[in-house]
Amino acid sequence: MIRRVVANAEEALKGIEDGMTLMVGGFGLCGIPENSIAALVRKGTKNLTCISNNAGVDDFGLGLLLQTRQIKKMISSYVGENAEFERQMLSGELEVDLVPQGTLATRCLAAGYGMPVVYTPAGVGTEIANGKEVRNFNGKEYLMEEAFHADFAIVKAWKGDEAGNLIYKSTARNFNPMMAMAGKITIAEVEILVPAGELDPDHIHTPGIYVHRIFQGEKYEKRIEQRTVRKRA
C-alpha cells in the first residue's frame, strides 16, 4: 500500500509554482479546502489560474487569494457574494471565464475520465459559444467544450484514510469528487484521518487511486454565506 499522508498543508502544497492551474473544490463556502487556501496565501504563489465554482467571499475561501492578487484568472460559474471578485473582473484586473455550472462539472469529469472534449447544449447561441465548434446531433446543436487541465486539484473531505480514500459529508461533496479525479496531482485535506482499512468500502466516494497527498486539517471555520432563519411566532 502506498502511504499518501503528509504532515500538513505546507508539505501538501510543495510543487505548486507561479503560473500553475489549480482546481479548488467547494461550492461557495461549503466543502472548501480552508487549510490549503490559507497555506497558499502564506506561500505567496502568484499568477494562478483557479478553476472553482466561485471564489468564496471577500475575506474567506478563494477571496483571500483575490485580496492578495495571487489569482490572475478565475474559471468559474458564479461571481456570487464576492464584491472584490466583481470589482477585479469589471476593472479588468482579473481575467474571468464564466462557465455554465453543469458544463464546469462535466469538463472536470471529462478530465477525470480521460476524455478530451464533451458536447453540451448549454451555451449554444450565446457569447460562450464564440470561437467554439458547434455540431448537430439528431437535429439538436451542441457546443464542444474541452476537458480541463489542472496541475493540481485541491479538495476537502470529511473523512479519509492513509491510502487516500475519501468520504464527503452531505452537500459538502459538491465539486470535490470530480475535481479529485481530474488533477495531475490531487491534494486532499480531511477533518478526520484514519488508518487504511477503517473505512467501509461501500461508503467511499473517492477511491485513493486518485489522491496523491492527504493530510488532516484543523480549525475549520465552516462559514455560512447567507444565513436564513424563521422569525419567532
pLDDT per position as a tens digit, 184-222: 999 999 999 999 999 999 999 999 999 999 999 998 888
Residue 119 maps to a domain? no
pLDDT band at 85 (very low <50, low <70, confident <90, very high): very high
**Is 200 inside any structural domain?**
yes
Residue 189 lies in a domain: yes
Q: Is residue 74 part of a domain?
A: yes
Q: Which pLDDT does position 233 carry in this prediction?
A: 73
Average pLDDT, the chain: 94
For residue 28, what pLDDT is reported? 84
Residue listed under C-alpha cell 485513493: 208
| Local confidence band at 227 (pLDDT 50, 70, 90 cut-offs) | confident
Residues 6 or more apart whose Cβ sits within 8 Å of residue 230: none
Res. 13: pLDDT tops 80: yes
- Chain centroid to Cα 165, Å, comes to 18
How many structural domains is the chain composed of?
1
Query: Which tens digits make up the pLDDT trace of 103-161?
Result: 999 999 999 999 999 999 999 999 999 999 999 999 999 999 999 999 999 999 999 99
Instruction: Please say if the pLDDT value at position 1 is more than 70.
Output: no
Q: Indicate which CATH number applies to the domain containing 90.
A: 3.40.1080.10
CA atoms within 13 A on the CB side of 10: 3
pLDDT band for position 229 (cuts 50, 70, 90): confident
d(CA 169, CA 149): 26
pLDDT reported for residue 185: 97
For residue 65, what are the CA distances in angstroms to 157, 192, 193, 226? Answer: 21, 26, 27, 21
| Containing structural domain, residue 55 | 16-98+149-216
43: in domain: yes
27 secondary structure, DSSP code: B
Position 225 in a domain? no
**pLDDT over threshold 80, residue 73:** yes
65 phi/psi in degrees, rounded to 5: -75, -25
Instruction: Look at residue 111 and tell me if it is in a domain.
Output: no
Average pLDDT of the segment spanning 38-67: 95
Quick check: is 227 in a domain? Answer: no
